[in-house]
Copies of this chain bind each other. A is one copy, B any other.
């Protein structure tokens, strides 16, 4: 359908390969022919056929980004960063949604060849280290956002243990003593939940405080709301809750306010992710802000290295930065409270 090199070559009166050379910026083309060819190129409005180019070169110029759900704000924001970072390498990004399920994560790991992307950035939830090690596909792979010990692939994340420690210590520093953790998960070996839990425990232990842990199935508002209901029903409700992500925190906040509690006076709340919602909730949400752009950039750059063939290098761990943002849900100063 579109114009091909053949058409351009015919019009310019040169060979197909010469046109190809001009298109690809090959050095040794005489100014005269180059001018001729470029004239023909723009006259016919030539666009290279990527399928053909990819077939010839064995590359597709596309990478896949597989994450649990696009409509979780954290992942949407992260996706945006990845797409932007990939654009710098002239890569297109195909987004796959795993739903956090083992079955679909497996299918994606296994089916990368189907789509013929050059590489895959996976934000794993269910899949574990041995699964990963056993995969037959040798497409470049980078893991994003979870820690899989001794995994067979490069990995980027923030230091989840330290981040959780920092949040907990922030709450302790504000004088809170009954600090609950909301967001633990049924003991999956992988995942960030155990790491965040570890950081929380370390901080409490360092100050000799007791721990309260509430589990959830998924990191969604509804789960946060439900878990908070359980917490408030306990004989000694917490005076602070560290939620393992912002969505849980926003759900918990909804429950607390609806129950007539003041946030943070009666109960302080903190999350992790720094999604935009938390900047506009009432009260605004204290959180850990991972450097999403850095995460995305490192992931993309690592993938690029793998794809370009530096595959000899053993899998490595990379850590992106984060910082604590103290807002009204712990510091107060906001004007919200429940109707007592």
Which A residues fall within an 8 A CB radius of B? 1-2, 45, 47-52, 54-55, 58, 60, 62, 69-71, 73, 76-77, 79-80, 83-84, 92-95, 97, 113-116, 136, 221, 225, 250-251, 253-254, 257-260, 276-277, 279-282, 284, 334-339
Contact = CB atoms under 8 A, between A and B. Distances in A.
Given A51-B116, A257-B282, A335-B339, A70 B60 contact: no
Contacts of A70: 70, 76, 79-80, 83
A225 B280 contact: yes
10 contacts: A47-B114, A70-B79, A70-B80, A80-B97, A83-B95, A257-B282, A258-B282, A260-B335, A281-B282, A282-B282
Contacts of A257: 282, 335-336
A92 B64 CA distance: 10
A248 B177 CA distance: 37
Contacts of A253: 282
Q: Is the interface of A mostly helix, strand, loop or mixed?
A: mixed
B336 A1 contact: no
A23 to B, nearest CB: 13
B221 A276 contact: yes
B45 A51 contact: no
B335 A2 contact: no
A289 to B, nearest CB: 14
Contacts of A225: 280
A254 B276 contact: no
A50 to B, nearest CB: 5
Contact of A282 (B1, B76, B114, B336): B336
B71 A276 contact: yes
Give the 10 A-B residue pairs with the shortest CB-CB distance, closest first: A76-B76, A51-B54, A51-B55, A221-B280, A257-B282, A71-B77, A47-B113, A50-B116, A71-B76, A70-B80
Nearest to A337: B339
A93 B94 contact: yes
A84 B104 CA distance: 13
Nearest to A95: B95
A163 B136 CA distance: 52
A283 to B, nearest CB: 9
